[in-house]
């Protein structure tokens, strides 16, 4: 069978190629299938969409403004340059957009524990923030090297009630934090949602 042309990918399910472009441990397949099913239902659920829209507007701070960058425009010439001010969102970065949608899906799935990994700490802060808002248990994995570099974000996560687990394996950075979070998820897949 000939390989599909790049224009034909991804398919209608978002998959790439014969195997869908993914490798997932068997222990996680049911959790991913459950998440996919619930996500498809949530996309067409007016109540879910209303709750998400309200949280993004009232809690996260959307929509964010465009700011005209007059000096950059003058310096570079040509097109007018605008900055999309995602830094003005609650927590100071775009990461909370995804975290908010994910926590609402976790709520629909009946999960009561959230895990995440983080490098510089912004994803961890966003995850800890939405967990605090909705009263979820929160565990953040972060390499010890990153924890030292990003002590302020570690303090923010802890202040929000997250348990921050320092990872001591390997280079003690994001890659190892991802590995530890995956180990946790495989072990606690029934009660835990991985953001």
Residue 34, SS3 per DSSP = helix
Q: Does residue 11 fall inside a structural domain?
A: no
> What CATH number is given to the structural domain containing 33?
3.40.50.1100
* Three-state SS at 67: strand
Q: Which residues of the chain are modeled with pLDDT < 50?
A: none
Give the model confidence (pLDDT) of 52-87 as tens digits. Answer: 999 999 999 999 999 999 999 999 998 999 999 999
Domain for residue 2, yes or no? no
pLDDT at 3: 67
pLDDT of residue 16: 75
Q: Does residue 54 sit within a domain?
A: yes
Residue 14 in any domain: the answer is: no
pLDDT at 4: 60
| Proportion of the chain above pLDDT 90, given as a percent | 85
User: Is residue 3, in this structure, part of any structural domain at all?
Assistant: no
The H or E element containing residue 143 is: strand 137-143
What is the pLDDT of the chain when averaged over all its residues?
A: 94
For residue 122, what are the domain limits?
Answer: 26-194
Number of structural domains found in the chain: 1
Establish if 13 belongs to a structural domain.
Answer: no
> Does 33 fall in a domain?
yes
Residue 171 lies in a domain: yes
User: CA–CA separation, 79 vs 185, rounded Å?
Assistant: 47
What local confidence, expressed as pLDDT, does residue 13 receive? 73
Question: Would you say how long the chain is, in residues?
Answer: 195
Q: Where are the alpha helices (DSSP H) in 110-160?
A: 122-134, 144-149, 151-159
């Amino acid at each position: 069978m000939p390989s599909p042309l790049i224009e034909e990918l991804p398919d209608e399910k978002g998959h790439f190629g014969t195997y869908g472009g993914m490798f997932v441990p068997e222990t996680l397949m049911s959790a991913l299938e459950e998440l996919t099913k619930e996500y498809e239902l949530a996309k067409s659920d007016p109540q879910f969409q209303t709750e998400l829209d309200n949280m993004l507007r009232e809690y996260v701070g959307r929509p964010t403004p465009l700011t005209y960058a007059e000096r950059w425009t003058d310096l570079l010439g040509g097109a007018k340059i605008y900055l999309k001010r995602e830094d003005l969102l609650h927590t100071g970065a775009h990461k909370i957009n995804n975290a908010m949608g994910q926590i609402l899906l976790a709520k629909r799935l009946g999960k009561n524990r959230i895990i995440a990994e983080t490098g510089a700490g912004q994803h961890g802060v966003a995850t800890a923030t939405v967990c605090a808002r909705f009263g979820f248990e929160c565990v953040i994995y972060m390499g010890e090297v990153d924890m030292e570099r990003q002590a302020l974000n570690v303090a923010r996560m802890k202040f929000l009630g997250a348990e921050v687990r320092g990872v001591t394996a390997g280079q003690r950075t994001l890659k190892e934090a991802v590995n530890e979070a995956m180990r946790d998820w495989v072990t606690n897949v029934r009660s835990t949602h991985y953001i």
